[in-house]
């Protein structure tokens, strides 16, 4: 069965705004794509909101629009017509909608330029954003509640890998994304995150499918652990052939 106009629009948003997640979703079953594309499109729209304007108030208003849309879903009220909100309303539970509201609230940090107070605050941000997004995906795909702790430990690694990739651009935009960005600190964080990836061995099929979007995490973390200076240079690049082989391996073994 083909996608409707909304799902096609969500897929196009992800293709343009998040190449890794688009590639991973296209490697997933069609039934999973109907969930993953709207969620990832939502994440793109929310993550863009603080960056499309220099006015903090306008950024807050953009984020509030999405919070209002999620509130409609959470309270089972009539939901506004929108190419991303409409498909989300088709599968999100009230609790999942409220969880995604927490993701939006965390994104308010992106509006300003203040650094995180400490490493713990950085981790709270990463878990509230990447962790919440991927756990919502896992739940919607049928993950068991008992898997949440192991799943969120695994997403710590995925979130850190994504964050390491984003650091140069964030700094170029005037952000101070690391409490301590010394190479030795980045290497230590990457080594710890690689150990966190071991938690995925306790996860079932739905959880592993939701984690497929983190298919490059292990390579990025290994590179950072060995050569942390590549982070500042924006040189955490995976060669094209290795990218393809890494995704194939992740899809076949169901391990990132």
| pLDDT tens-digit series, residues 64-75 | 999 999 999 999
128 shares a domain with 45: no
- Of 58-72, 121-135, 151-165, 225-239, the poorest mean pLDDT is in 225-239
Rg (CA), the chain: 18
Contacts of 245 (CB under 8 A, 6+ apart): none
Distance CA 13, CA 172 (A): 24
Domain edge (last residue) among 62, 83, 112: 112
Is residue 251 within 8 A of residue 214, CB to CB? The reply is: no
208 shares a domain with 157: yes
pLDDT value of residue 239 = 81
Higher pLDDT, 97 or 181: 97
pLDDT value of residue 175 = 86
Tens digits of residue pLDDT in 236-249: 987 877 888 899 98
Domain edge (last residue) among 112, 134, 168: 112
72 shares a domain with 154: no
Distance CA 223, CA 38 (A): 31
Domain edge (last residue) among 97, 112, 127: 112
256 shares a domain with 146: yes
Checking phi first, is residue 172 left (phi over 0); if not, alpha (psi -120 to 50) or beta?
A: alpha
45 shares a domain with 167: no
pLDDT value of residue 211 = 97
78 shares a domain with 43: yes
pLDDT value of residue 1 = 47
179 shares a domain with 90: no
What is the per-residue burial (b if ≥16 Cβ within 10 Å, else e) of 222-246?
ebbbeebebbeeeebebeeeebeeb
| pLDDT, mean over the chain | 94
pTM score:
0.95
Distance CA 249, CA 170 (A): 31
Distance CA 132, CA 136 (A): 6
Location of structure tokens 């106009």: 5
176 shares a domain with 53: no
Tens digits of residue pLDDT in 102-147: 999 999 999 988 889 899 999 999 999 999 999 999 999 999 999 9
158 shares a domain with 89: no
Location of structure tokens 């993701």: 103
Mean pLDDT of 159-180: 91
Q: Which domain holds residue 181?
A: 119-256
Distance CA 69, CA 82 (A): 9
Backbone φ and ψ of 175, nearest 5°? -85, 160
61 shares a domain with 131: no
Is residue 104 within 8 A of residue 46, CB to CB? The reply is: yes
Q: How many domains does the chain have?
A: 2
């Amino acid at each position: 069965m083909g996608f409707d106009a909304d799902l096609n629009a969500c897929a196009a948003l992800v293709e343009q705004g998040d190449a890794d997640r688009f590639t991973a979703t296209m490697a997933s079953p069609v039934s999973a794509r109907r969930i993953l594309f709207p969620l990832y499109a939502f994440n793109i729209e929310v993550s863009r909101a603080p960056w499309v304007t220099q006015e903090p108030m306008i950024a807050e208003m953009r984020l509030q629009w999405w919070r209002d849309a999620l509130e409609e879903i959470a309270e089972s009220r009539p939901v506004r017509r929108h190419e991303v909100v409409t498909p989300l309303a088709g599968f999100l539970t009230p609790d999942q909608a409220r969880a995604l509201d927490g993701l939006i609230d965390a994104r308010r940090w992106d509006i300003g330029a203040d650094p995180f107070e400490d490493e713990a605050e950085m981790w709270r941000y990463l878990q509230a954003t990447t962790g919440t997004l991927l756990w919502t995906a896992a739940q919607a795909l049928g993950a068991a509640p008992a898997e949440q702790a192991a799943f969120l430990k695994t997403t710590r690694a995925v979130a850190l890998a994504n964050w390491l990739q984003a650091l140069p651009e964030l700094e170029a935009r005037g952000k101070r994304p690391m409490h301590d960005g010394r190479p030795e600190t980045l290497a230590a964080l990457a080594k710890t995150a690689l150990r966190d990836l071991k938690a995925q061995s306790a996860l079932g099929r739905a959880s592993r499918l939701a984690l497929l979007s983190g298919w490059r995490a292990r390579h990025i973390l290994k590179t950072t652990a060995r050569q942390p200076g590549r982070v500042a240079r924006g040189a955490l690049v995976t060669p094209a052939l290795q990218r393809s082989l890494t995704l194939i391996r992740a899809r076949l073994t169901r391990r990132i």
